[in-house]
Amino acid sequence: MSRSLKFGLIVFPRITQLDMTGPLQVFSSLPGAEVHLLWKSLEPVASDTVLSITPTLTFADCPQLDVICMPGGYGTDALMADDEVLDFLRRQAAGASFITSVCTGSLVLGAAGLLKGYRAATHWSAKEVLPVFGADVSSERVCIDRNRITGGGITAGIDLGLTVVAELAGREAAETIQLRLEYNPAPPFNAGSPDTAPPAVLAVMEERIKTARQTRMALAREAAARMA
């Protein structure tokens, strides 16, 4: 590479940390990469686990990025109406090579108006929200539509990171990182998708997230109305 590629991942309260740390590990493994964790301030933010994440750069101090990545988590509900976050994404998207997301991070891109007319992926529980923002739903684990690269839920972040690296630096670079990470998944159960999970397991999860799903849809409609 003739210059350092600049990657930026948004961190925010109630982020699902694996949405961010998956692609973070991949991007940081690319020789010469410059990787930033971005938020409004440099104060640590609480994830959806006991782990807190310390941003490395504020929005105000962020240079133009080559890749902007919006992770997901329940905290994205609030971000769909957060003008500071949405404006930052729009500004960066104007000059970035790739605008990317993991999990429900795609909903924030949608609320920023960055997915209208694009195919996009998200967590299986949020697929019904994407059309609210004018996006076409993809069931791919990683969806590429022009310079939008969006990933499915949580663990798809590693796949997204490798896909982005392959687009920027070639397949061999991505495969070298995959080997370094020993990313060779062989899950002990085949319950990682609504299509393969046992019906009883799916029913438990559907009931558990029902209220959050309804709330998310209502907030997305409000965000879409504001954008219009």
Pair 50, 79: CB distance under 8 Å: no
Strand order in the sheet with 142-145: 57-58, 34-39, 6-10, 67-70, 98-101, 148-151, 142-145
DSSP assignment string, 19-42: HHHHHHHHHHTSTT-EEEEEESSS
Buried b (16+ CB within 10 A) or exposed e, 191-223: eeeeeebeeeebeeeeeeeeeeeeebeebbeeb
Distance CA 8, CA 68 (A): 5
Cα-based distances in Å from 18 to 56, 60, 146, 195: 18, 25, 25, 22
Q: Which of 62, 69, 103, 143 is catalytic?
A: 103
Known active-site residue 143: no
Structure tokens at 94: 């104007």
Buried b (16+ CB within 10 A) or exposed e, 76-110: bbebbebeebbebbeebbeebebbbbbbbbbbbbb
Three-class DSSP category at 196:
coil
- Residues forming the active site: 103
